[in-house]
Amino acid sequence: MILENVLLGAEYKTHEDVMPLLNYMATVELTEEEKYLFGDATTKLANHPQFPNLRKRILTVIFTNSGRFTLTFPPNQIGAQGNFAAFNYSIWTNYNNRQKLICILEEFVHHFWDETDEIETSKIVCEFFSDLDYNRETGHYINL
């Protein structure tokens, strides 16, 4: 599939063990600081004790500035399947770096752990931080 209006040549900082598992697409250019957040998130993922045993399917990460994106078939392609995590950049920019990092890690947990439950996802995300906890009923994060 092809993302319409994708920025070609977009670069992200990615841990080498995670790099083959991620495909980045964007219709907006991330700041250098935001690109480094991906390096931090992928390093946390690669260093997690469960990483060697996690699902190893490719995740396409999409950033869109418009709050929507369009995927189209290339000529002569009859079918497609895949996994993606999409971020609405116009909302993303309102968050601080810690919140952005948590958002990235949440999407990684959903994908690589194959976790759909939001409270369990919050529990796993907290494993990446020594100063973060979560509400056991809502899954909302609590800074320690």
Alpha helices in 29-112 (DSSP H): 32-47, 89-92, 97-112
- Dmax over CA atoms of the chain, in Å, equals 53
Q: Which of 10, 85, 13 is nearest to 42 (CA)?
A: 13
Read off the tokens for 114. 């194959």
Q: Which of 113, 19, 114 is nearest to 61 (CA)?
A: 19
Predicted confidence at residue 10, as pLDDT, reads 63
Report whether 85 contacts 21 (CB < 8 A).
no
Rounded alpha-carbon distances, angstroms, from residue 85 to 38, 49, 82, 130, 139:
13, 23, 10, 25, 19
The model carries a pTM of 0.91
Predicted confidence at residue 8, as pLDDT, reads 58
> Which of the residues in the chain have pLDDT under 50?
none
Instruction: Name the β-bridge partners of 23.
Output: 60
Predicted confidence at residue 101, as pLDDT, reads 97
Predicted confidence at residue 42, as pLDDT, reads 96
Predicted confidence at residue 51, as pLDDT, reads 97
pLDDT tens for each residue of 90-122: 999 999 999 999 999 999 999 999 999 999 999
Predicted confidence at residue 117, as pLDDT, reads 96
Predicted confidence at residue 95, as pLDDT, reads 96
